[in-house]
Amino acid sequence: MVATTRLLLEAAHGTTDPAILTEAAKGPGSVTADQVRGIAQAKLGDYKTDDLDRAVNVVTSAAKQMNIQVR
């Protein structure tokens, strides 16, 4: 199971390199609505819901808290 925050950072900064993600977490990035939907779909079981729209809202909220812009 991968944390939502890690998936958002990977999507926002286009890398899975831990050193870059650690540095990237200090600054804002951006993700597309399609990336958010993809993350929500991947995490659907973890959120204990079968409603994709609710999962998208959870991921969008997490992105906003991390200063990641959803485009």
Domain that holds residue 56: 4-70
Condensed to tens digits (0 to 9), the pLDDT of residues 9-53 reads 889 988 888 877 777 666 678 999 999 999 999 999 899 889 999
Judged against a pLDDT cut of 80, whether residue 8 lies above it is answered with yes
R_g of the chain, CA atoms, integer Å: 11
Total structural domains within the chain:
1
pLDDT at position 48 is 86
pLDDT at position 20 is 75
pLDDT at position 32 is 96
